[in-house]
Structures are given as structure tokens and as C-alpha cells.
Amino acid sequence: MKIIFMGTPDFSIPSADAVQKSGNDLIAVVTQPDRPKGRGKQVVFSPVKKWAEERNIPVFQPVRIKGDTAFLEQIRQLQPDLIVTAAFGQILPKDFLAVPALGCINVHASLLPAYRGASPISQALIDGADRTGISVMYMDAGMDTGNIIQQEEIRIAEEENAGQLHDRLAVLGGQVLSRVLKQFAGGKPEGVPQDAAKATYCSKIEKSMGEIHWEEKASTVRNLVRGLTPWPGAYTFLRETRMKVWKVRKWEYFTNNTVPGTVLQADRSTGLIVACRDGAVRIVELQMPGGRPMSDLDYLKGNRIEVGTCLGRTKSGE
């Protein structure tokens, strides 16, 4: 088969590897345009572009596929049998999906129809899910609505964060895709329709989602931190200074009529314990502006936090 691969971030790399090693002909790679990054606004290539150039594979970088008739014609001239996508970053229009004879397939980081959309890894953790997985499915005009070719489920570890789960699912995505590509050797797999009644959706993660609301349950706070680590990061305020929270652990501590956000303990033996609506959490790892991530115990060696201090925005900061 002649295959075009479409992907952009690190998540895509194991899937790109799977295509290249499948014995098929990887004729081109499509990725997002180069973007300026960092304070110096230096233009950087996507991980997939770097991967393709190291292997001398032709790269296309359309700014917006929808409405780009010249790019559509370029893809038609390549006459791909199959297009494979994994975290490409653009919605593909109908006329593009119709180009390959065997269709377009996508590697999606959830057990569809659960968590259709842009942020299935983070949202599963925020929701406190204990299982997720990879779905390889046909693409159609809907958002992750096509027939499923193959799925594989994994358990989510109790303290796993989004970065760690991302890396595991990226590898699993490549493994599942490899098996799916072998199925195409025997003809086009039919796929199984999704149950639309069971569909759930997740939107794009925004930085504003990271603020911790201590009036939530301890489990909710913990899952928010897991779901937004390492990016965009969860945070709170200590005496009006923004403090990034890298890791929290649920703490067995009874609170009765305590204002959520109140520091219950802050010492070098116990750590930084904070009240929530129904209990407490320990802030295990934190980062202050201009500093590096550190454990709460290390931070408390050189910084005093009084018991009774209330974390979060003050009224003047709202």
C-alpha cells in the first residue's frame, strides 16, 4: 500500500514508526506548519517533521487543509491507498477524506465512543477514570465518529499524570496501529459502528482550567492536578503569589468546619497539608515563580508557611 502519514506532536512518533516499519510504502508526511516558540520566538519544527526529514520522507505543511484546493490536488496526484493520522491537529474535510481508496484511519487516545475530541488523555484523568486505551478507527465527517477497527484497553495507575499516561498511550498507539495495518494486507477491514448513545466529548485544554478550587472534593483536586500535569499545569496562590502544583496526594485527615484552602499542617516531617471540601490533600511537589519544581519538604526547609494560612485567590485578586 501507498500510505500518507499525518501527525504533529511527540504522540504521533510511535505511529509514524509503525507505518514505516509495516512494509508498506510511506510516500509522504503531512504535519502542522513551523511555529515560533519561546521568548526568542525561534521557529521550531514539529517532532513529526524532524522525524520525516531524518528519513528523507517528503513533508507537506498546509496552513489549513479545508479550502486549500492546491494541496488537495497534490495529495490526489500522490494516489495514496491509505491515509493514517495520529494527533495531526486539523479537521479533515470530506473531499480530502475521499482521496485514498481504502479510506483514512486515525489513532485516538481513548476507548471510543468515550472522550471524542481534543483532550482525551487529560479529561480521563480529570474525571478520575481508571481505564482508557487506544482506538484505531475510520475517519468520517463527524468528530471521532467513524467505525472502530481495533481497540486496546489499559488501566490508569493511581498516581499517573497526563504526561506519563500520554507516553504510554503513544507507544500503545503504535502497537495497535501496527496490527491494524496487517489487517489491510487481507483487504479493507469492515470496522464496528460506535454506539452514539454512549458518546462523551472533551474540549481543548485551556490554561485557565488549571486554577485549583479548594472547595471541591479532595479527589477532584487530585485528579485536576494529574490531568493538567505537565501542561498547562495546576496552580493556586500562596499570599497572592502564584504557586504551580505538580503533584498532590490524598491525605487521610478529618476536617470539620474548616475553610477550604486552609493550611492544616506545614512542617518538614509531614509536609504541606491543605483542607478541601471533604478532607485534605498533601501538596507533594510545587514550584514558585522563578524557581524549580521541588518537594514540599524541601520547600518548607527554607520557607515558613503558617498553619491557618488560606491558599487561593484573595478577594482583591479575584
Grid coordinates standing for 252?
A: 487521610
Q: Binning pLDDT at 50, 70 and 90, where does residue 133 land?
A: very high
DSSP code for 76? H
Residue 185, CB half-sphere, CA atoms under 13 Å: how many?
11
Q: Out of 3.50.50.60, 3.40.1170.60, 3.40.366.10, 3.40.50.170, which CATH number does the structure's domain 2-202 have? A: 3.40.50.170
Fold match, 2-202 / 207-317:
no
Q: Binning pLDDT at 50, 70 and 90, where does residue 316 land?
A: very low
What does the alpha-carbon distance between residue 144 and residue 270 come to, in Å, rounded to a whole number? 46
What does the alpha-carbon distance between residue 80 and residue 101 come to, in Å, rounded to a whole number? 7
Closest by CA to 279, choosing from 302, 306, 258, 309, is 258
Contacts 24+ apart (CB under 8 A), 188-195: 188/102, 188/103, 189/149, 190/147, 191/137, 191/138, 191/146, 191/147, 191/148, 191/149, 192/147, 192/148, 192/149, 193/147, 193/148, 194/112, 194/113, 194/137, 194/145, 194/146, 194/147, 194/148, 195/113
Which residue matches cell numbers 493550611? 263
Residue-wise pLDDT for 166-192, tens only, equals: 999 999 999 999 999 999 998 999 999
Q: Binning pLDDT at 50, 70 and 90, where does residue 35 land?
A: confident
Closest by CA to 106, choosing from 82, 85, 75, 80, is 85
Cα→Cα distances 300→260, 273, 283, 294, Å: 21, 12, 11, 10
Quote the mean pLDDT of the chain.
95
Listed by start position, the domains of the chain span 2-202, 207-317
Average pLDDT over residues 21-48: 91
Q: At residue 266, does pLDDT exceed 80?
A: yes
Is the Cβ–Cβ distance between 116 and 127 less than 8 Å? no
What is the model's pLDDT at position 254? Answer: 65
Q: Identify the CATH number of the domain defined by range 207-317.
A: 3.10.25.10
This prediction's pTM: 0.94
